[in-house]
Chains A and B, each alone.
Chain A
Amino acid sequence: MSAPEVSSHRLGPAHAIPVGEGRAFAVDGRQIAVFRPRAGSGIRALDAVCPHAGGPLADAQIDHMKIVCPLHGYAFSLSDGACLNGDLAVRTYPVREEDGEIVVDV
């Protein structure tokens, strides 16, 4: 079994993510939502689709700990993607700003 291949993707200018909000990107056949919490350091990336009923997580309200799906209120931890009020989870992805651009590893 070989280690899964990880590659970096540039998703455009970092200022595309407003403070406290999220935006979604199609990356290598995946949908990934990138968030910029008001507090804490930098941006975070998680799956963009809520595992409960397909809700658009980029439209979530967020704080420094979690995002809350706009459809039915399932909340996911920004740090590890664990659901805070159910048995679901989303994936998180390493993400950073480089030269004013968003770079995510998938």
Chain B
Amino acid sequence: MVDLLPDDGRQHLVVIGNGMAGARAVEEILERGGAERFRITMFGDEPYGNYNRIMLSHVLAGEDAEEIYLNPLGWYADNDITLYAGVRVVRIDRFSRKVFANDGTILGYDKLIIATGSRTFFPPMDGMWVDDKTLTPGVFGFRTLDDTNAMLEYAQEHRRAVVIGGGLLGLEAAYGLQQHGLEVHVVQSGPVLMNQQLDEEAGAILRRVVERLGITVHLGKRTTAVRSAGTVSGVLFGDGSSIDCDMVVLTAGIRPNVGLGVVSGLTVERAIVTDDQMRAVDDPDIYAVGECAQHRGEVYGLVAPLWEQATVLADHITGADPKAAYHGSRIATKLKVAGVDLASMGLKHPEKEDDEFVRFSEPRRGVYKSVVIRDGKLVGATLLGDVGKVAFLTQSFDRGLPLPEERVELLFELAGPSGEQGAAEMDDSVQVCNCNGVSKGDLVACVRNGTRSVSGVMAATRAGKGCGACKGLVCDIVDWATGGDVEVDVSAGWYVPSIPMDKPTLMAACRERGLRSVSAVFSELAPDGEDAGSKMALASLLKVLWNDEYVDERDARFINDRVHANIQRDGTFSVVPQIKGGVTNAEQLRRIADVADKYAIPMIKITGGQRIDLLGVRKEDLPGVWADLDMPSGYAYGKSFRTVKTCVGTDFCRFGLGDSTGLGRDMEQRYQGLDSPAKMKLAVAGCPRNCSEALVKDVGVVAVGEDRWEVYVGGAAGASVRKGDLLATVTGRDTALRLCGTFMQYYRENARWLERTYDFVPRVGLDELKALLVDDRDGIVAGLDERMQVATDAYRDPWREGREPVTSGQFANSLPLVPLPRVPVRNGSVASNGGLPAAAAPFASGAGTADRTESGA
């Protein structure tokens, strides 16, 4: 039968293959409005809707696999796609542009996509076949839903299986069959299990793990024949030995289905040869995608490259992006085989003389980790048994990020948020983002609803938008929930989400065009105009760039910066006056006490930064509080230089080696209030006893005697715990003071928005920082110091605004009817039940992130 095309102005797109590649390509095409352009017909060899082949191992293992169907039959109808299920296209006539199917169907096409995938490779072996088309009963491939169901049925009544092929698929088949109570043997012709991904040592560890599960592994055995007496009764090996069995599964490789390409006159090598638009090189109207396509000599058998190919194909065929081009894929896989976590990417061992190779092996626990580094970039990694670092390594591998100096940090979580628990094992109810109360289940639901990028999920759920400590885990979970098919965030490198530029590009653009206000930046550089979520970051950047030439628009500021205080959960504010180096006097304390009385301040608290916090101040009282305090702002509310913690140093301490108190006070005086990408908390210690905790500060200075000072950078003891790196040991307190400023200016100019020094320092690398800031390799130090001087000269105490408000109603109450404060009030002098006065009831149960005045803002 020949169909008659209704001429509705649309072209006819025929897709041969209804597997993961074909269906994904169609999904991508529809997403780009392809339905307006194409009438779509799909041919599927298998009589089902589209299913997720990767899930077959779960089906075999008897695990819940309800979601194996990617697109049920209804999806085809809903999208007006004609599906020929269980029909095979046998020939393409490229000259008359028709396809011929084995049920007699003949269809004309305008564009054609070949996505025929691949099939099980059956090596030549005596006894495997009954005839040309029929396998000996008891012999199985492991490729399709039918294969899997047939194996499941056969496994019910048989006892011993031999799996030929010790790669990923083989081990999954073995594990699955073992779950059904069979005795399972895996036979690998080479010396290493999963030799595509693992080197010998890792393969040996995997072997131990697999054997511990009760699966017998035979290495270096070439199978030569299947013994049968009507049904399978055993396998014979090249060395003359044999195993009796009643079931054989072939998992010794796959072969692309390219017969159709060959008979239709397309260029076929290992698979159908395509160009960068995924078109067959011989015919601009025929595309090939997935395992049947060969691009730049590579044939991919994994799902991630297939998604990338489908995207390019869809961009090109719909005209959404006529220049779309596929450049090949970097292969990073993360999988679970036989219950064991495995991640691998790039090289499995070093190939060049200068390649670095760092390995850790713990066979007893079944853990193996290795990384291969070339020219400072990660070019390969293998993680077996413990994949806690996979998110970080994958990012480094994909984006060529700088690596930590201590290479061991690539293998282990020495600092920073830990991903101890794998995303897969976590219960849905586990809270991932404690700041915003987002559970793993919330994240997974968001992915299921179609958001497939990390930034998209973070924006939709607000996970990771609090302290940020959970970002790594959020990445892991999104990665896991998308089945490794996480969409690459083009915006990941942007300074703000609304402007497609990284920080240096954006700074250069602002400088060149003379953009001095946030609204000017939006109107010149943001494609969609103003964005509330980008304002604060832009204000910070412009202030660093222009200092007192910055045109301050108050609406660009976060509320804290509009009223120079830290907003609390009930809409009141916290006021922290500057107490340099933590040193105060009776007169200041008396004034603070008077202010607390006069304004009925509900809580006075000593902060972690050696200052005094007045909490629960009404917005309208702020100007009065500041005037009566008559002290400068302590900046406990901004993304800025905060405070310098000190110990008593030489004045009183019998161990002091340097005047830490004096240096701390000078430092706080000099750098007070500087805007920066994230808050900066500092400390100076008078001796290595480190009472002021200088080793875990953004910048920490430690006196070591004879006017020698150690300067540490990148320390943290908050959401992340990290010991600072020793930038330099310098002679002279003024030199130490200056070096701290040089570092802070470099950080201000180069760090991403909200990137704390504990992320920034390892990202840039300590050696690089030393070369730049201590050795002045690139001659930038004088410029940094000069710009820091300009910035400090531009300093004005913001609390002076209290005398003359900048905007109408700057200090007007924003919750006019709510009697404030409504947070529980603790009174230090009154003992109460559990610390909460009976009358005080919390008015909201939300996580109070805003109440950490020294750190939250």
A contact residues vs B (CB 8 Å cutoff): 15-26, 29, 31, 33, 37-39, 48-49, 52-64, 66-68, 70-75, 85-86
Give bound CA distance, A86 to B459, whole Å: 10
- Which of A20, A53, A58, A63 sits near B814, CB closer than 8 Å? A58
Query: Chain A interface: which of B91-99, B388-396, B532-540?
Result: B532-540
Measured between beta carbons, the chain B residues less than 8 angstroms from A63 are: 529-532, 535
- Measured between C-beta atoms, what is the minimum distance from B541 to chain A in Å? 16
A-B contact pairs, 28 of them (CB 8 A): A16-B809, A17-B808, A17-B809, A20-B556, A23-B808, A24-B815, A25-B816, A29-B817, A31-B817, A38-B555, A49-B815, A49-B818, A52-B846, A53-B846, A54-B844, A54-B846, A55-B569, A58-B814, A58-B815, A63-B530, A64-B530, A70-B567, A71-B846, A72-B462, A72-B847, A73-B462, A73-B465, A85-B459
Give bound CA distance, A33 to B815, whole Å: 9
Q: Say whether A21 contacts B536, CB under 8 Å.
A: no
Measured between beta carbons, the chain A residues less than 8 angstroms from B847 are: 72
- Measured between C-beta atoms, what is the minimum distance from B750 to chain A in Å? 25
**Given A54-B570, A56-B814, 11 more contacts at CB 8 Å?**
A18-B809, A20-B553, A24-B816, A31-B817, A53-B845, A60-B532, A61-B532, A61-B557, A61-B558, A63-B535, A70-B560
- Measured between C-beta atoms, what is the minimum distance from B622 to chain A in Å? 13
Measured between beta carbons, the chain A residues less than 8 angstroms from B570 are: 54
Measured between beta carbons, the chain A residues less than 8 angstroms from B849 are: 72
Give the 9 A-B CB pairs with smallest separation, nearest first: A20-B555, A53-B846, A56-B814, A58-B814, A63-B530, A59-B559, A56-B571, A53-B844, A18-B807
- Measured between C-beta atoms, what is the minimum distance from B359 to chain A in Å? 43
B216 at the interface (CB under 8 A from A): no
Measured between beta carbons, the chain A residues less than 8 angstroms from B262 are: none
Give bound CA distance, A20 to B284, whole Å: 53
- Which of A31, A61, A73, A86 sits near B815, CB closer than 8 Å? A31
- Measured between C-beta atoms, what is the minimum distance from A19 to chain B in Å? 6
Q: Which residue of A is nearest B530, CB measured?
A: A63
- Which of A25, A29, A61, A62 sits near B536, CB closer than 8 Å? A61
- Measured between C-beta atoms, what is the minimum distance from B194 to chain A in Å? 42
Q: Say whether A64 contacts B529, CB under 8 Å.
A: yes
Give bound CA distance, A73 to B553, whole Å: 21
Q: Which residue of B is nearest A25, CB measured?
A: B816
Q: How many B residues, CB 8 Å from partner?
A: 45
Q: Which residue of A is nearest B810, CB measured?
A: A18
Given the contacts A26-B816, A56-B815, A70 and B558 also touching, CB distance less than 8 Å: yes
Give bound CA distance, A59 to B559, whole Å: 6
B267 at the interface (CB under 8 A from A): no
Measured between beta carbons, the chain B residues less than 8 angstroms from A24 are: 812-816
Q: Say whether B555 contacts A19, CB under 8 Å.
A: yes
- Which of A31, A39, A59 sits near B530, CB closer than 8 Å? A39
- Which of B436, B460, B809, B843 sits near A23, CB closer than 8 Å? B809
Q: Say whether A59 contacts B532, CB under 8 Å.
A: no
B821-856, CB < 8 A from A: 843-847, 849-850
Give bound CA distance, A49 to B817, whole Å: 10
Q: Say whether A85 contacts B530, CB under 8 Å.
A: no
- Measured between C-beta atoms, what is the minimum distance from A27 to chain B in Å? 9
Most buried by B among A24, A29, A64: A24
Most buried by A among B460, B530, B533: B530
Measured between beta carbons, the chain A residues less than 8 angstroms from B818 are: 31, 49, 54
Q: Which residue of B is nearest A71, CB measured?
A: B850
- Measured between C-beta atoms, what is the minimum distance from B25 to chain A in Å? 32
Q: Say whether A67 contacts B532, CB under 8 Å.
A: yes
B549-594, CB < 8 A from A: 553-560, 562, 567, 569-571
Measured between beta carbons, the chain B residues less than 8 angstroms from A61 are: 532-533, 535-536, 555, 557-559
B461 at the interface (CB under 8 A from A): yes
Q: Say whether B807 contacts A59, CB under 8 Å.
A: no
Measured between beta carbons, the chain B residues less than 8 angstroms from A53 are: 569, 844-846
Most buried by A among B436, B519, B815, B844: B815
- Measured between C-beta atoms, what is the minimum distance from B434 to chain A in Å? 12
Give bound CA distance, A49 to B814, whole Å: 9
Give bound CA distance, A60 to B814, whole Å: 10
- Measured between C-beta atoms, what is the minimum distance from A78 to chain B in Å? 10
Q: Say whether A68 contacts B533, CB under 8 Å.
A: yes
Give bound CA distance, A38 to B809, whole Å: 18
Measured between beta carbons, the chain B residues less than 8 angstroms from A75 are: 532-533
Give bound CA distance, A73 to B461, whole Å: 10
Q: Say whether A59 contacts B567, CB under 8 Å.
A: yes
Measured between beta carbons, the chain A residues less than 8 angstroms from B462 are: 72-74, 85-86
Q: Which residue of A is nearest B808, CB measured?
A: A16
Most buried by A among B533, B559, B850: B559
Give bound CA distance, A60 to B558, whole Å: 8
Given the contacts A38-B530, A61-B536, A68-B532, A33 and B814 also touching, CB distance less than 8 Å: yes
Q: Which residue of A is nearest B553, CB measured?
A: A20
Q: Say whether B459 contacts A15, CB under 8 Å.
A: no
